[in-house]
Structure 1
Amino acid sequence: MKGSVRKRGNTWSYYFDLGKADGQRRRTEKGGFRIKKDAEEALAKALSEYNNAGQCFEPSEISVSDYLDLWFDQYCKMNLKYNTQLAYLQTIENHLKPTFGIYKLKALNSSAIQEFANNLKLSGYAKSHLVNIITTLSGALNYAIEPLHFIQSNPCDRIKYPKYTGKKKEVRYIISNDDFNRIINRFPESNPFHIPLLIGYHTGLRISECFGLTWSDIDFESKIINVNKITVKRNYGVDVRQVLKVKGKKEEKSAWYFGSTKTFTSNRTVKFGETLYKALKKARKVQLENMILYGEYYTDICIKPEKDEKGDEIFRLIEIEKSIPCALQKADMICRKENGQMISTDSFKYCARVIQHQLNIAFNYHSLRHTHATILVENGANIKGIQERLGHSDIKTTLNQYVHNTESMKNESVDIFESIATMP
């Protein structure tokens, strides 16, 4: 599309045709330029913006650094969960911008990315970390292809990951029955970590799912837990881009929120047995007694609706003493201290350290989830049922990551073969 300039009185103006609207051909014109050259320069800029749907840059000229900012604002902020945004932002700021930021987006090629991947390996990065970095870059470049049409192909598609020898196997801890009893004895009924430990062991819930439970999520009659939310820690009063800059500084402001579960299939119902039923019943009774005991000094957990960077409603959890009037809805949390204060996934780190260092048991909360799944498999539970119980969208995740080839399973394999092989 071309336009033109013309002199009108003592000044110059430019004009060019627009697309049809309501069946009518439209034209735009702007005047008031002192000399012809000013009008021509303004015309070139206006045409560029019009042809690029109002963008203030030429796609062919944008740098990788500026493009990554655009991708993060347009895609990541609007589609990814808060913690995933932070992970992508760290990769962008710590790896992608320092290496590729000064390149023009259209000049980025497979050779430069291949060298980058090789250097990551030589610098000692684990393969999983290397893959995550390249995958982040690849995802950004795919968005540049579609829907933006800034580039025609993704140079990451032709990358060959460096070969790693002696693959390091991820350690996944399985807690024996004896060790779990030692853990429970160290954190008895009077301890606020007792119930979270029992929930993890008896249901396989993720730690964020467990600490997000309220009493309304427990159906005592049917012995069912409704998993429909998690707790997540996030900054407030600051743009997500600024989080890395203020992290660890006094001005950092963070709070706990109710968030959505990890995936759609993570919203589920999980049945539980008599042991957990009795423990939850007793914990509820004690919690109600503590409310009476502490009276106006008991801490309520209130829910404050807010908006996130996507414009979606999120819910901040605020601790307020009962004596202070508050019109906000209350969150009747299961995991809380004697005085009503929240215990969080951060608080649980103390419990994990005690188990590791005082009891000498290899442990993290996720090991309860692995233990739960493995016990079910060892005792003949249906894999599909385990997948649904754990809230996995893909059964491969259940098989590959949560089912462990324990000594019991190895012996069972030998016994099965032996019984067949020795048949007359």
Structure 2
Amino acid sequence: MQGGVRKRGKTWSYFFDMGKVDGKRKKKEKGGFRTKKEAETALRNALTEFDRCGSLIDESNVSVSDYLDYWFKEYVLINLKYNTQQYYKTIINKHIKPALGKYKLKSLTPTAIQEFLNKKQIAGFSRNSVSNFYGVLSGSLKAAVHPYQFIKQSPAQYVKMPKFNNIESNNKLKIITLEQFQTIINRFPQGSNFYVPLQIAFNTGMRAGEVCGLTWDCINLEDSSIKVEKILIGKDKGIWEFGTPKTESSNRIIDIGDTLIKILKQHKTWQKENKLKYGKYYKDSDFVCTKENGQNITPNSIKYLSRVVNYELDIDFHFHSLRHTHATMLLESGAEPKDIQARLGHNKISTTMDTYTHVTKKMKNTTVNILEGILATQK
């Protein structure tokens, strides 16, 4: 690329050729520099910025912390959903930056990353959490190679996930028994704020955001199905809005049985009665999960529910437990794994089977027993 400096009157300016734009050759020139040296320095900076399409980061000295800020702004905020953005921000600010942020990006080694992940595993973080830490690091460093061209290769490609105890990982699914679910329902019976959200999650395996975002136009009581096409997500200062489901496969239709249909019909009647009862004080909406005054149930309300179940009922519980319990019950009862995958909205059946390895082990044992029964009849 051609460029240079020249003196114009009492000041210096730099110039360089930008090539052809719309068939015409363009030239960049900027003046006002007091000395020739200042103009030459500005020219080098301008050429570097032009070569890198306007990026203001100096890749030779950028720290991991500053680079992650750049990646978050240029990629995460543009391409990922709000909840994922907030989760990535937490991972970056609370975990990655304190451990690795001080390093220069070009000096970050596989050893430093491996030690970071190992320490998180030793500290008691779950496989899923450590995997997410690694995922954010790996994704950001891959982008640093291409398209950003800050480094020539990613040090994360030489790092391995620490080994985890599979049994401990499965126990963290917090699967509850039918008796425990009945105890929860006795605490939150029909007419309480959480009765319907609990029943929907237990009978469908839907996620909390999907349950809270459910509207009546997505429920077909005649066809006995629920269409999952949106979630309720929280913005700052108590603002809630609809978002798209977690993945493309999370957009799904779930068949439901007579038990849940009866509950939903009764709930719809209950809402109409409350609308007449509260009159102008009723918050009218199309939400399925509402309080008596029509105010919709939010994921924050669900967190309160989980706290009550844990501390008042002494049941190790998270609302997601209902999703795991739903899948476990069906798999143990002989339902087709492919059908479970569709109900849960997993993109791959391997996700379903890997998540519920404790169930698949039991299924394998059942298969062996069936085989032994067949062979016994031949003796």
| TM exceeding 0.5 | yes
Q: What is the CA distance between 1:403 and its match in structure 2? A: 6.6
Q: SS where residue 235 of structure 2 aligns?
A: strand
Moved more, 392-401 or 362-371: 362-371
Does the CA-based 8 Å contact 1:377-1:403 persist in structure 2? no
2:318 to 357, 364, 367: 364
Aligned to 2:212: 211
Q: What is the CA distance between 1:119 and its match in structure 2? A: 4.2
Let me know the Cα RMSD of the aligned residues. Answer: 2.7
Structure 1 residues 297 and 411, CA gap change in structure 2 (3 angstroms) = same
Identity of aligned pairs, percent? 48
Q: SS where residue 6 of structure 2 aligns?
A: strand
Higher strand share: 1
CA distance in 2, matches of 1:163, 1:189: 45
Q: SS where residue 170 of structure 1 aligns?
A: helix
Aligned to 1:389: 343
Aligned to 1:134: 134
CA distance in 2, matches of 1:125, 1:25: 58
**TM-score normalised by the chain length of structure 2:** 0.89
Deviations 1:11-36 (A, max 9, x none): 43322222122344332233344433
CA distance in 2, matches of 1:182, 1:127: 30
Structure 1 residues 61 and 195, CA gap change in structure 2 (3 angstroms) = same
Q: SS where residue 213 of structure 2 aligns?
A: coil
Structure 1 residues 419 and 87, CA gap change in structure 2 (3 angstroms) = same
Q: What is the CA distance between 1:417 and its match in structure 2? A: 3.4
1:88 aligns to 2:72 (yes or no): no
1:26 aligns to 2:10 (yes or no): no
Matched ranges for 1:105-144 at <5 A? 105-121=105-121, 123=123, 125-144=125-144
Structure 1 residues 366 and 164, CA gap change in structure 2 (3 angstroms) = closer
CA distance in 2, matches of 1:38, 1:376: 73
Structure 1 residues 408 and 24, CA gap change in structure 2 (3 angstroms) = closer
Aligned to 2:267: 283
1:343 aligns to 2:297 (yes or no): yes
Q: SS where residue 7 of structure 1 aligns?
A: strand
CA distance in 1, matches of 2:39, 2:127: 56
Deviations 1:100-159 (A, max 9, x none): 333322222223333434444555545543343233222111011111111110011112
Aligned to 1:256: 240
CA distance in 1, matches of 2:9, 2:181: 91
Structure 1 residues 374 and 48, CA gap change in structure 2 (3 angstroms) = closer
Aligned to 1:299: 283
CA distance in 1, matches of 2:203, 2:227: 14
Moved more, 163-172 or 95-104: 163-172
Aligned to 2:79: 79
Q: SS where residue 286 of structure 1 aligns?
A: helix
Aligned to 1:53: 53
Matched ranges for 1:141-152 at <5 A? 141-152=141-152
**TM-score normalised by the chain length of structure 1:** 0.80
Aligned to 2:228: 227
Structure 1 residues 97 and 373, CA gap change in structure 2 (3 angstroms) = closer
Q: SS where residue 53 of structure 1 aligns?
A: coil
CA distance in 2, matches of 1:228, 1:78: 22
Structure 1 residues 211 and 404, CA gap change in structure 2 (3 angstroms) = farther
CA distance in 1, matches of 2:125, 2:356: 25
What is the number of residues matched between the two proteins?
377
CA distance in 2, matches of 1:407, 1:359: 31
Q: What is the CA distance between 1:96 and its match in structure 2? A: 2.6
Q: What is the CA distance between 1:333 and its match in structure 2? A: 0.9
Matched ranges for 1:230-249 at <5 A? 230-235=231-236
CA distance in 2, matches of 1:363, 1:10: 76
Does the CA-based 8 Å contact 1:114-1:160 persist in structure 2? yes
Q: SS where residue 150 of structure 2 aligns?
A: coil
The aligned amino acid for 2:221 is F
Aligned to 2:330: 376
Aligned to 1:250: none
Higher helix share: 2
